[in-house]
Amino acid sequence: MITKVLFGVPFPTDAVTQPVEQVRELKHFSVGEEYGCLIFTCPLDADEVVYGLGETTGGLNKRGGQYISFNTDTADHSDSNPSLYASHNLLVLEKRNFCIFFDTPGKVDFRIDLNGSGKIEVICRGNMAVYQVEAGSTYEAVREFLAAVGPSYLPPRWAFGYGQSRFGYKCEQDFLEVMEGHQKAGLPLDYICMDIDYMDGYRDFSVDSSRFPDLKAFSERMLKEGIRLVPIVDAGIKVDPGEPVYEDGVKHGVFCTNKEGKLFQGGVWPGMTHFPDFLNPKARKWFGQQYKFYTDRGIEGFWNDMNEPALFYTEYTKGPKKLDLALNFVFPRLRKKVKERHTVRDYQSFFHQVDSKPVCHYDVHNIYGGNMIRATSEGLSELLDHRYLIFGRSSYIGAGRYGGVWTGDNTSCWEHIMLNLRHMASLNMCGFLYSGADTGGFMGNCSRELLLRWLAVSTFTPLMRNHSSMGTRAQEAYRFGDPEAFRRILSLRYRLLPYIYSEYMKAALRSDMYIKPLAFTFPEDEKVKNIEDQLLVGNSIMIAPIVTKGATARNVYLPEDMTMVRYDGRDFVCTPCPKGDRQVEVPLDQVVFFIRKDRLLPVGKAVCNSREVTAEDLQLLGDGKTYELYWDDGMTRNCTEDNIRVLEKS
């Protein structure tokens, strides 16, 4: 059962869409007040596991850490950094079958058994609604919370294909080279992302005509090859008198204002920009309509960036007029120190209009990025009569109804493969089913071994995008010598696509999780509570990837009898395995995963593009008898369980 407790008059975040009964008392938590802050406290048993918080650093079990919900543009994804790009204020107490959501758009400090305190402390200012769910199991509690948040975003089927991206692709020739490189190497590909260099002076809703003389014709040319273009769109609109988008925004009054009541100015990639007031429905509608610039050119997929919002400097803070790329990407810790001196003052310096009243951005900071995703989604819903791709960087619970997320500027290191795994399960708990990391790492130089192992993880995540920064080693899969090992792994992704798509769509329609911890399905097995490098993907698969440099084998714990599947690029070799621990050999050019007992896994034929994937002549692996397959045309908005049919193993 889900209930809520109100503290003061909460700011409407729109995170929860379903009616919820209001009660007077919190369960498991006591509440006090000190120095103007509310302090929520819950004692923990010694072996109690705490999940949640979506996109944060730290383990899947959040015990022992401090996590601060304050959306931050940061390249430091180490455990010492308490804030990343998003704020997902959900805690899941596994032992109590209980979850609690602190619904406030401002800063929240979570201290979970910090320094062995044996308790949870949640510290925040202001008014809020606290939602609490108790159910028969942890899994049921999370699902009830997801149902209250509302139905998940539904991407088109091509969005489950493999995507290639790099900050540094500048012109048509760069994109043609990437497409042809994949084709010559026999590597599947569905889309290529366009970072900020496609723009005219880094302006949203523009294109540099010297680099892309006819973007519509180029988009159509790529689409004939099965490749879609997915441009980036940032949060700020360049201050540029005479430029139509800027002038139209000023005319319609859609930008945030400063302390003096004038339009607020902050520096990002194009220089000084104004920020759309995404908390204002009028501004959201205006911003969403601007995407007609792209849809008129045949583009139907986008990624939102810099929407914390990221600020390099503002009209109130001194700083460099243009951040050097070395400061941005080579010395992220230095960048962090430079920015931290100004962050609070910057965010306290501009204002939104909510119900015709000024609201300081600092107090509602964490919902800005999610409302940009909402604005984009609502605009595309009017411009297109079918599904579209949208994923963003900054978010808040509820934004998963409008789009997906990727986990930001990670690094080419083994620790971030593990962080990728933890994020996927935690984000699913918070309603973000369409999610993924920058495969191979955004910053740093990715090795062949690291990319292969990371691709083996990303094979199972809905968003599978290889993305890297300029100044790093180019990490397209065809650049690492013999591409055979990469062909095998990417081939598996497309052979699994009928299953991945089906499981995702069923999870979205049923308020379910696509990826979850083992403990959610095997709550009586004490051993699985501390396993963080094995996850359940859909209802049939368990993955246990290699996440350690140089390793060619690992221990895997099976909480039930399972079927081990080894894919060699052509055939699936299935081996029954009894419950318990076992050592599993995983060569660098193979992917090994497991099918759960009494379950089936449908696999298709090897193809190089999602448009070639069909639901016909599927091979059924595993020892189950039936499988519920969701299948439609991959684009329709009429997504219901009527599209499910039952497959039977002969």
CA distance 114 to 110: 9
Is the distance from CB of 376 to CB of 233 less than 8 angstroms? yes
The confidence score (pLDDT) of residue 285 equals 98
The confidence score (pLDDT) of residue 322 equals 45
Give the active site residue among 308, 346, 438, 512. 308
Handedness of CA 371, 374, 378, 380 (dihedral sign): positive
> Structure pTM?
0.96
The confidence score (pLDDT) of residue 650 equals 82
The confidence score (pLDDT) of residue 330 equals 46
Could you give phi then psi for residue 558, rounded to 5 degrees? Answer: -105, 115
Percent of the chain with pLDDT over 90: 95
Sheet of strand 50-52, all strands in order from the earlier edge strand to the far edge? 21-22, 2-7, 128-134, 98-103, 90-93, 50-52
Check whether 206 has a pLDDT greater than 90: yes
Confidence bin at 336 (pLDDT 50/70/90)? low
Confidence bin at 339 (pLDDT 50/70/90)? low
Assess whether 305 carries a catalytic annotation.
yes
The confidence score (pLDDT) of residue 343 equals 79
Assess whether 409 carries a catalytic annotation.
yes
The confidence score (pLDDT) of residue 529 equals 94
pLDDT tens-place string over residues 531-551: 999 999 999 999 999 999 999
Give the active site residue among 409, 438, 503, 632. 409
Check whether 270 has a pLDDT greater than 80: yes
Assess whether 616 carries a catalytic annotation.
no
H or E segment to which residue 627 belongs? strand 626-630
Confidence bin at 499 (pLDDT 50/70/90)? very high
Percent of the chain with pLDDT over 70: 96
The confidence score (pLDDT) of residue 94 equals 95
The confidence score (pLDDT) of residue 325 equals 43
Give the active site residue among 14, 195, 305, 438. 305
pLDDT tens-place string over residues 311-332: 999 998 865 544 444 445 444 5
Check whether 355 has a pLDDT greater than 80: yes
pLDDT tens-place string over residues 70-121: 999 999 999 999 999 999 999 999 999 999 999 999 999 999 999 999 999 9
Confidence bin at 342 (pLDDT 50/70/90)? low
Residue-averaged pLDDT of the chain:
95
Confidence bin at 335 (pLDDT 50/70/90)? low
Is the distance from CB of 399 to CB of 369 less than 8 angstroms? yes
The confidence score (pLDDT) of residue 344 equals 86
Is the distance from CB of 2 to CB of 85 less than 8 angstroms? no
CA angle 12, 15, 17 (to 5 degrees): 95
Q: Are strands 357-360 and 350-354 parallel, antiparallel or unpaired?
A: antiparallel
